[in-house]
Structure 1
């Protein structure tokens, strides 16, 4: 049956990369999984088909994490269609790159809307659906602990906000048996940051293990936090970065 049998999860930004790997790992562990996507409907539907092939229910929801109404609606739609909500994984993200001089107000507002406001509002909508054993897991970044090269200040700042939110919500929700944690991935072999991409050689120089992560390795930590092994883990940040911040 799997450790997550009978559970329902929502993974934002679950159509590809780390998000898709998380959605599939949760399904393998027995959960029914909803996922949101912005534009890649065909990819989202492919993940849903893979979830169904594992014998679980899957649901793809078009939702822009920068849109407050869309994220709230996605949560409520998940709970309505799949009957409940036990696990929320805040994975949707953007990657602004450039110096502070190059950064526009629109860049700033959009990044914070997705990484901070969107996460906060998604959790706010999800918590009323959760009971004892609920799990909130956000996907941060290795740049929270170390920023070894220029151009990622806005990204690092926005992901750093998740640490404070995680610690605060762990206190707010602990009495209800809901855990809240953040996972900080390092360089991961995805379409957005391929292991053979232009920046790969530079990034490998900072990684103690000397290789990129596979998306499944990030997903394994998320699934552990979502399952029975995560019952007593809350308010913490876990790095899965191959020693990037060592």
Structure 2
């Protein structure tokens, strides 16, 4: 089950929801953040903004993605929660049909009746920790184990489809700014054999193939990462070196 979870913050307080209005609620009696299920084909960042509006009345301008939390409870299906914080919002707080909403001073959060696993990720949020994956394993209300992994989100991954003889051209362009450097290693990238398919339409100026004909060629897929602050520079350099009129570049 895919879920979203958000903790709305001011400088000194966090909006907490005391779940006490629904029967057969696994969260009943606990204080949690704003949460809900993702709808079909809904992006997590859109889902949490919708949930904030529905549950609190606030309109969120932007939410910060902090981590993924996996909630395993007895034999129930796992819940995969996209965890956010939000400080950029406006509007008026309304009554919630799932419990009582209350702004709690940050130094009083630990005194609330929380899931033990929530204490772990709330502490990570409070310390402004890097992006993380946290798995929580419960037997009823008891946290029996957990796994925590931090993720380096300082990089952007590129995938570039290119004829083999142009790989070195792209590498040379990126190397001018040491964009493929990893520690004591330079020009770090991977190459995968792929088969490119396309049909050139009227008005195109194809590097390979003919107008109106379906083309099939052997290509290479270059995969590498650059520091995210150089993402736009890397994209520019790749397009500059790439022979195709419209190069296929995936930025992940």
TM-score, normalised to structure 1, is: 0.20
Higher relative contact order (CA 8 A, sep 6+): 1
More helix, by proportion: 1
Return the index of the structure with the highest Cα Rg.
Answer: 2
Determine which structure has the larger strand proportion and give its number: 2
Give TM-score scaled by structure 2 length: 0.20
